[in-house]
Amino acid sequence: MKKTWDVLIYDTTLRDGTQGEQINFSAEEKLRIALRLDDMGFHYIEGGWPGSNPKDVRFFELAKTAPFRHARLTAFGSTRKAHTRPEDCPNLQALLNAQTPAVAIFGKTWDLHVIQILEVAPDENLAMIRDSVAYLKSQDKEVVYDAEHFFDGYKKNPAYARKTLETALAAGADLIVLCDTNGGTLPHEITTVIQEVSGLIPLRQMGIHAHNDGGVAVANSLAAVHAGVKMVQGTINGFGERCGNADLIPIMANLQLKMKKRCLTDEALQHLTNLSNYMSDIANVPPLNARPFVGRSAFAHKGGVHVSAVVKNSAAYEHIRPELVGNQQRVLVSDLAGKSNIEYKARQLGVDLGLDKATSKKIVREIKKMEDRGYQFDAAEGSLSLLIKKQTGEFVEPFNLESYHVLIAKRGNEPPLAQASIKISVGDEQEVTAAEGNGPINALDNALRKALTKFYPQIDAMHLVDFKVRIVEGSEGTAALVKVLIDTRDEDEVWSTIGVSENVIEASWHALVDSVQYKLSKDRLNNNHRKEKR
């Protein structure tokens, strides 16, 4: 393994990542994540600290029968307790009981921690490092030694920090990882220190573990690799304590695509976007649109000048081809849009704008006018799709609203009751119905669906994903203009629609209608395509 890859990837999401706020995985979820990382070809997967909690103990029990094909599963722990023999130390015994091929232990490098936190003599700390590494090596384990707080310790007392590294190496550590535990070191300092200690530790046995408190964990990791280290530790999506750990997603993409350092197969790299989204889903943390390489906005273009350029040559505004990391180019439409944006979106929708540029300009004018009234089409591509189709005559109204009524009743301490009645027409037929809901919007949604199902049973496949209300401009207080954004999904995709009004129910109605119309419009288009193929 160490000869095949230029850089070894060591994932610590299942241990360090779970120390982040609101990040928590069950033992079963940890196993699923570990197997997913193994499928990607990660070299080391740190499963947790088996001596610290029952969940990690159970994870390692589950992992004993799991089919890891690529990664070396690693159990994490500390050096032996002070004044305790290794064979009598519960921490080390828990590591052995995990029965993993590799173990990682951390030891104190900064004399501040040795004296004030551990409250042991510096020589005893060196003995704890030496004895722990040697004992684990005697048990046929690959030992990764994490030099905790190394960079801070080196700045304060370089002689002692160096001595801790020499002790771990002499005891047989396979890899020694320099940790920027407080996350305050800068890239140029990382490079300088690595160069200074490379005479003690061969670079092929050195790794980096960076935290993001200074916002440079990824940069520090890349700087360390540039200086020659072999291993990079980090977490998926940068999950971790305080400001998080180094994010392995941009690290791996930069290593492979920019620095030409092989760390994964090219095929695995194409799954980075899916991996990032998978981890966000299982952690129940919304994905960041602006996440480098894999975020939804990473290759999204909004300005008309930018779109005009990327249509001709994507390299004009994209540093890599998005498909290399499993992402895709997106063009957004807003009041900053030009006709290039509209023509791009029309091609995506399969709408023919013809050779006459007047249609594109007309759509641009309409979008700018509506965005001035509070609409936001870069966040509501479903509504944008309908607008383009309506302006080009491609859209057929599936139904018309005749009227709706919404009633909210509140009695004493009982929860309020919402009722909505609606009258629609489809062709020459009319339908009148009513429904209840836990709020006025829910009641209106239920009534609309109930009225339409007779004509369009496929709307039963639609499900609300998210509902957001935003004030466009707040100077009018509760009478302010509001916009309502709705995310809806079916078995094929998720789409967003928008409505704007001084009345939140009316704004919601427009967003709901757009959502239904988008679903029916795309189903009609798909049916036409299937007929053409036949």
User: Of 136 and 347, which is predicted with more confidence?
Assistant: 136
Instruction: Pick the more confident residue, 293 or 362.
Output: 293
Residue 114 pLDDT greater than 50, yes or no: yes
526 has a pLDDT exceeding 60: no
pLDDT averaged over every residue in the chain: 88
Number of Cβ within 10 Å of residue 348's Cβ equals 13
Residue type, 18: T
Residue, of 413 and 217, whose pLDDT is higher = 217
The third-level CATH classification (topology) of the domain covering 400-533 is Double Stranded RNA Binding Domain (3.30.160)
Task: Report CA torsion sign: 296, 297, 303, 308.
Answer: negative
Tens digit of pLDDT for each residue in 16-26?
999 998 888 88
CA distances from residue 375 to 303, 481, 484 in whole angstroms, order as listed = 17, 11, 9
Q: Does residue 252 or residue 1 have the better pLDDT?
A: 252
Dihedral Cα 130, 135, 139, 144, nearest 10 deg: -30
Per residue in 173-199, pLDDT tens? 999 999 999 999 999 999 999 999 999
Q: How much of the chain, in percent, has pLDDT values that exceed 90? A: 59
Query: Using an 8 Å Cβ cutoff, are 330 and 274 in contact?
Result: no
The token pair at 39 is 């499928």
Statement: residue 2 has pLDDT above 80:
no
- Rounded Cα–Cα distance for residues 512 and 477 (Å): 25
257, two tokens:
């695509």
What is the dihedral sign for C-alpha 498, 499, 504, 505?
A: negative
| Residue pair 176/168 in contact by the 8 Å Cβ criterion | yes
Check residue 473 and give its pLDDT.
Answer: 66
Q: How far apart are CA 273 and CA 477, in angstroms?
A: 41
Q: How confident is the model at residue 352 (pLDDT cuts 50, 70, 90)?
A: low
Q: Are 386 and 340 in contact (CB under 8 A)?
A: no
What's the fold here for domain 8-264?
TIM Barrel (3.20.20)
Q: Any idea which of 212-216, 394-398, 452-456, 501-505 has the lowest mean pLDDT? A: 394-398
Q: Looking at the predicted structure, is the pLDDT value of residue 343 above 80? A: no
> Any idea what DSSP says for residue 118?
I
Q: For the segment 455-512, what is each residue's pLDDT rounded down to a tens digit?
A: 999 988 888 878 888 887 656 565 678 889 888 888 777 888 999 998 889 999 999 9
User: For 270-309, b where at least 16 C-beta lie within 10 A, e where not — what string?
Assistant: ebbbebbbbbbeebeeebbeebebbbbebbbbbbbebbbb
Average pLDDT over residues 420-432: 92
Q: Is the predicted pLDDT of residue 528 greater than 60, yes or no?
A: no
pLDDT band at residue 334, thresholds of 50, 70 and 90?
Answer: low
For the cut 90, the answer to whether the pLDDT of residue 266 exceeds it is yes
Question: 510-529 burial, b for 16+ CB within 10 Å, e for fewer?
Answer: bbbbbbbbbbbbbbeeeeee
Mention every residue, 6+ apart, whose C-beta is less than 8 A from residue 365: none
d(CA 350, CA 261): 41
Strands (E) across 288-361 are located at: 300-301, 330-331
pLDDT of residue 452: 93
* Phi (first) and psi of residue 276, to 5 degrees: -60, -45
| Mean pLDDT to the nearest integer, 226-238 | 97
Residue ranges of the domains in the chain? Answer: 8-264, 300-369, 400-533
SS3 176: strand
Are the C-beta atoms of residues 300 and 331 closer than 8 Å to each other?
yes
The confidence score (pLDDT) of residue 470 equals 82
